[in-house]
């Protein structure tokens, strides 16, 4: 099965060949992918190199935390993608975006305020979880319409932190 994975503005074609091999944009890799315990932590070995990632599902995508940075990712199988293209389904940027906590944690800082214009990749919230500070960034430009938390607030996974119009 082939999948189209979008991370940021980049698209990747991933084909799962078998349990130990994938093809990424035409290049074959030997992989070992395993979930670690009951947490959303995954271990990935790619051609002998080890990676650890935290993967949190959100409403429209996945939030992947790797090396202290979040990567929003969407994954569609080819059939699903063709169906969306045939029906004209388009993601609208004019819809309000709600930044949700990808994990439980403590709000360290909110470097933006209500009414502020933000650009794509601007830091919206710094969240501490598992002794790591994570910068949650804007996926698109817009205006901060509502800030729902304050510094030093404890938040739960999927709790809305702020909204962008």
CATH of the domain at 114: 2.40.50.100
* The domain boundary residue, chosen from 87, 117, 135: 87
Do residues 65 and 56 lie in contact, with contact meaning Cβ atoms separated by under 8 Å?
yes
3-state secondary structure of 135: strand
- Alpha carbon 161 to chain centroid, angstroms: 15
> What are the pLDDT digits (tens) for 59-100?
667 888 888 788 888 888 776 666 556 544 443 456 788 888
**Tokens 């817009």 -> residue:** 142
Note the pLDDT of residue 83. Answer: 55
Residues 60 and 110 in one domain: no
**Which one is predicted more confidently, 154 or 48?**
154
Residues 81 and 9 in one domain: yes
Residues 6 and 81 in one domain: yes
Residues 52 and 120 in one domain: no
As a whole number, the mean pLDDT across the chain is 83
Tokens of 47: 């051609």
CA distance linking residue 143 with residue 46, whole number of Å: 40
> What are the pLDDT digits (tens) for 109-124?
999 999 999 998 899 9
Tell whether 39 is covered by a domain: yes
* The domain boundary residue, chosen from 29, 55, 87: 87
For 29-33, 90-94, 108-112, 158-162, which range has the lowest pLDDT when averaged over its residues? 90-94
CA distance linking residue 53 with residue 97, whole number of Å: 24
The range of the structural domain enclosing residue 153 comes to 97-164
Tell whether 126 is covered by a domain: yes
CA distance linking residue 136 with residue 43, whole number of Å: 22
Tell whether 92 is covered by a domain: no
Whole-structure pTM value: 0.52
- The number of distinct structural domains making up the chain is 2
Residues 7 and 67 in one domain: yes
Tell whether 62 is covered by a domain: yes
């Amino acid at each position: 099965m082939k999948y189209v994975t979008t991370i940021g503005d980049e698209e990747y074609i991933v084909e799962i060949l078998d349990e130990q091999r994938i093809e990424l944009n035409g290049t074959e890799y030997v992989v070992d992918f395993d979930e670690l315990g009951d947490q959303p932590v995954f271990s990935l070995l790619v051609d002998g190199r080890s990676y650890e990632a935290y993967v949190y599902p959100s409403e429209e995508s996945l939030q992947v935390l790797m090396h202290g940075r979040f990567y929003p990712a969407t994954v569609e199988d080819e059939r699903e993608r063709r169906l969306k293209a045939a029906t004209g389904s388009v993601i609208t940027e004019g819809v309000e975006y709600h930044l949700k906590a990808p994990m439980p944690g403590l709000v360290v800082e909110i470097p933006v305020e209500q009414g502020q214009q933000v650009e794509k990749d601007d830091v919206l919230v710094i969240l501490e979880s598992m002794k790591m500070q994570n910068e949650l960034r804007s996926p698109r430009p817009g205006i901060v319409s509502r800030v729902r938390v304050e510094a030093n607030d404890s938040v739960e996974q999927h709790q809305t932190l702020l909204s962008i119009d």
